[in-house]
């Protein structure tokens, strides 16, 4: 069995069954991800992959850390001459984050089976959420190495944040999120906005100090779905784009949200994006820091481009 870091890098084949490096896959599934209407997607993808002759193994997570442990087991199997050619993250961006933290620096490519609330990474790479497109990407899509962000040793794929957005993530009710999806974030945003307290963070970007009421550190250009926070940020660019929301205040926060949803955020005078590779955020309080939609650290933090990458399977040509 080959375990090559360039899986899928060649031109797509006409018959996916002739692709030798996609003959065995491990699906890491978060059974709590997304709403019920998306959960049939998993079985449909398994059925189609097996029809194409793929050996499919499915492991369901039961708690934090399971996905990373499953990946470590897969690497041990490969070292012993066995194991998957591809790992598929079946869940939301939080599930992807755990899988990425297990895969980082290794040769196994990551494929996506979007089942979460926002599925921002799938949107970032242009993956359509239909069964044929998902299967076609798994079987034929090129594996492209992507850069990762790093927060105190914990990696993130899409974005990190401090301030209102991290406070919202920390406040989301998990049960409501499972039942109501994005509405849980709307409820948490309203709650945090009503209880808003002005604060300024001191943010050092490549040695230069900045002050802001909140910041989003973007590794990709989409945020919270298909809203654009940093238009020039790309997963294949070895820089982070720090979105600075400079002016504090409850009503100013509402203006920033309107700017994000309305697409005019970059034109606001007290918002700017600074590109960098190393960001230090220090504060007297242990404020939460979100990464890929989950709280993964508390201040102070050092955020940088990770020295480890992950091969990410992109949509297949014609998909």
Into how many domains does the chain fold?
2
CB neighbour list of residue 258: distance below 8 Å, 6 or more residues apart: none
Q: Is the pLDDT of residue 260 over 60?
A: yes
Within 13 Å of residue 15, how many CA atoms lie on the same side as its CB? Answer: 6
Residue pair 100/148 in contact (Cβ under 8 Å)? The answer is yes
What mean pLDDT comes out for the span 12-30? 66
207 and 255 part of one domain: yes
pLDDT at 36: 60
Mean pLDDT lowest among 16-25, 103-112, 125-134, 209-218:
16-25
Q: What is the pLDDT of residues 43-60, one digit of tens each?
A: 999 999 999 999 999 999
158 and 124 part of one domain: no
pLDDT at 14: 38
263 and 124 part of one domain: no
66 and 162 part of one domain: no
What is the domain range of residue 57? 16-146+309-313
Q: Check which CATH number belongs to the domain holding 266 and give it.
A: 2.60.200.40
Does residue 220 fall inside a structural domain? yes
pLDDT at 194: 80
Does residue 10 fall inside a structural domain? no
Distance in angstroms (rounded) separating the CA atoms of residues 94 and 77? 25
pLDDT band at residue 37 under the 50/70/90 scheme: low
pTM to 2 decimal places:
0.87
129 and 185 part of one domain: no
For the chain, give the percent of residues with pLDDT over 70. 89
Distance in angstroms (rounded) separating the CA atoms of residues 110 and 263? 31
242 and 173 part of one domain: yes
Q: Is the pLDDT of residue 10 over 80?
A: no
Q: Is the pLDDT of residue 95 over 50?
A: yes
- The average confidence (pLDDT) of the chain is 88
Higher-scoring residue by pLDDT: 225, 139: 139
pLDDT at 40: 86
């Amino acid at each position: 069995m080959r375990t090559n870091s360039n899986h899928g890098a060649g031109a797509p084949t006409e018959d996916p069954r002739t692709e030798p490096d996609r003959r065995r896959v491990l699906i890491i599934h978060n059974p709590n991800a997304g709403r019920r209407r998306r959960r049939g997607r998993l079985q449909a993808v398994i059925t189609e992959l097996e029809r194409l002759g793929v050996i499919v193994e499915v492991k369901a997570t039961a708690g934090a850390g399971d996905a990373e442990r499953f990946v470590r087991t897969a690497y041990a199997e490969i070292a012993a001459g066995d194991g998957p050619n591809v790992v598929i993250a079946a869940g939301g961006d939080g599930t992807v984050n755990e899988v990425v933290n297990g895969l980082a620096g290794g040769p196994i490519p990551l494929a996506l089976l979007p089942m979460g609330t926002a599925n921002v990474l799938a949107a970032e790479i242009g993956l359509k959420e239909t069964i044929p497109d998902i299967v076609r990407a798994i079987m034929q899509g090129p594996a492209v190495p992507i850069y990762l962000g790093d927060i105190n040793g914990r990696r993130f794929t899409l974005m990190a944040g401090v301030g209102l957005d991290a406070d919202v993530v920390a406040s989301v009710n998990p049960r409501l999120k499972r039942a109501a999806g994005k509405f849980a974030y709307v409820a948490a945003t309203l709650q945090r906005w009503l209880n808003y307290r002005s604060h300024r963070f001191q943010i050092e970007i490549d040695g230069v100090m900045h002050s802001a009421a909140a910041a989003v550190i973007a590794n990709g250009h989409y945020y919270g779905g298909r809203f654009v926070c940093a238009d020039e940020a790309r997963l294949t660019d070895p820089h982070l784009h720090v979105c600075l929301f400079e002016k504090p205040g409850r009503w100013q926060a509402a203006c920033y949200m309107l700017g994000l949803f309305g697409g005019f955020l970059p034109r606001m005078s007290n918002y700017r994006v600074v590109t960098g590779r190393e960001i230090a955020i220090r504060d007297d309080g242990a404020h939460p820091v979100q990464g890929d939609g989950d709280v993964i650290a508390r201040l102070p933090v050092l955020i940088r481009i990770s020295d480890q990458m992950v091969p990410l399977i992109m949509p297949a040509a014609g998909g």
